[in-house]
Chains A and B, each alone.
Chain A
């Protein structure tokens, strides 16, 4: 079963704008991970935030985690056409990942 839900399901933005997507999860986690999937490809790991962290940055990515609300957000700043993809959050328990349904992001040139 899937861990939770992502919001929005789809997002269309102009190149240079920021993209924000949210994820809610249901059970306790050790960490939360975000992955990107380009059409017809596998998933690529973007960033991991541990349960005792509240915010993490990596390049143009910013992730927040609120364990009291069981939610996380991913912000992509200064988006590029190459950021067009589906983005998935995954809650990690002991070793399994439970994925959300994903947010499809389209960046218009």
Chain B
């Protein structure tokens, strides 16, 4: 595709349920990032994947959060036993390779609402 694709665009679920968010990066981009954006806030880094290297999970807020990237392409972010404070927009970004001088390309995000 032309850009980063995220699905679903909106997700409403009950507290305690598990949710899975998907990200399709731009073809050929080896670096993939997940961020969380709470209402009216900037972006909080969650996790970073680069090729076959071990991911940087330093931003994950709790062990209820996990992510994987299969085949170096599609990534899924899973939140188990969701809490109301997990409500936010989850944004995925990709870049050509691991280099801070490469701009990141963002998807439109998944808006997650926990009831």
Q: Contact residues of A with B, CB < 8 Å? A: 1-2, 30-31, 33, 35, 40-45, 48, 50, 88, 90, 92-102
Contacts and interface: CB of A to CB of B under 8 A. Distances in A.
Given A48-B103, A88-B42, A95 B91 contact: no
B30 to A, nearest CB: 11
Contact of A2 (B42, B50, B91, B93): B42
Interface string B85-101: 00000010100001111
Contacts of B91: 42-43
Contacts, number: 64
Contacts of A101: 40-42
Contact of B31 (A42, A50, A95, A102): A95
B44 interface: yes
B108 A41 contact: yes
Contact of B100 (A30, A35, A42, A43): A30
> Interface extent on B, as a size class?
20 to 34
A101 B4 CA distance: 23
B48 interface: yes
A1 B35 CA distance: 12
A79 to B, nearest CB: 22
B99 A88 contact: no
Contacts of A31: 100-101
A42 B109 contact: yes
B41 A33 contact: no
Given A50-B101, A95-B98, A43 B106 contact: yes
Contacts of B48: 95-96
Contact of B105 (A33, A45, A50): A45
Given A43-B91, A50-B101, A92-B100, A98 B45 contact: yes
B43 interface: yes
